[in-house]
Amino acid sequence: MFRQTLLIFLLLFIVATSNAQTADEVYDKYLDFNLARLQGEEDKATDLAEQLMKDTLKLKPGVRVNFYNSAAKLYEDGSQSVKAIELYERVIAIQPQYYVAHRALGYLYLKNIPDVDKPLDTPSTDINYLNAVKKSLPQLEKAQACDPDDNTLALIKTLYNNIGDKAGLASLNNRLEGLKRGCIDILSDE
């Protein structure tokens, strides 16, 4: 009986110790990922990001959201929009007030729409255009509310006109005022 109990405790200790080491190893990869990004080693950073993706739950929540954001930016800069969008969506799910990710998503949703910033003579009925604009507008509005930018505001207004949403355009200022609350511009590891 004593041997069985001792064996069980020994096995639990080994499992607990190996999990702690695994979490440390994952965090070390996260640090290596950041170093590679800072040194401009995009290929190495991308490789480390792919490795880390499998173990993000072993990172502390604040570190995890920072990783998602950094990896999203890496993918965005590397023209991997689909991966960047997925990660920015994770960032917003965890930290909905982080307007930087909203701005990135807003522009990424529109990336494959040619001349999206050009005014149309008549409202668009193209389903791809409409879907992209409708996904993009809430993101751009949050970013605009938190960090006003003339170009973003002009794009928002053009998009509302291009989809024929006069009511949305008329209520824009009120929505922007409401979205100003709780804006976050820097993510914390805490």
Asked if the model's pLDDT at residue 129 lies above 50, the reply is: yes
Q: What is the mean pLDDT of the chain?
A: 91
Distance CA 68, CA 182 (A): 21
Alpha-carbon span 89 to 149, nearest angstrom: 22
Q: By CB neighbour count within 10 A (0-12 exposed, 13-18 middle, 19+ buried), where does 123 fall?
A: middle
| pLDDT for the residue 6 | 47
pTM of the model: 0.85
**47 SS3 class:** helix
* Extents of the domains making up the chain: 18-95, 96-190
Residues 39 and 49: their CA atoms lie apart, in Å, by: 15
What single letter denotes the amino acid at residue 168?
A: G
CA distances in angstroms from 20 to 13, 27, 53, 54, listed in the order given: 11, 11, 18, 16
What is the rounded distance in angstroms from the CA atom of residue 105 to the CA atom of residue 146?
Answer: 15
Q: 151: Cβ–Cβ under 8 A, 6 or more apart, which residues? A: none
Place of tokens 């409401």: 178
Q: Give the C-alpha separation, 71 to 83, whole Å.
A: 9
Whether the CB-CB separation of 80 and 43 falls below 8 Å is answered with: no
Tens digits of per-residue pLDDT, 151-176? 999 999 999 999 999 999 999 999 99
CA–CA dist 114, 92 (Å, integer): 26
Write phi, then psi, for 185 (nearest 5 degrees).
-110, -10
Return the SS3 of 143: helix
| Predicted pLDDT at 188 | 86
Pick the CATH number of 18-95 from 1.25.40, 3.40.1350, 1.10.101, 1.10.3470: 1.25.40
Tell me the pLDDT tens digit for each residue of 56-101: 999 999 999 999 999 999 999 999 999 999 999 999 999 999 999 9
Indicate if the pLDDT at residue 17 is higher than 70: no
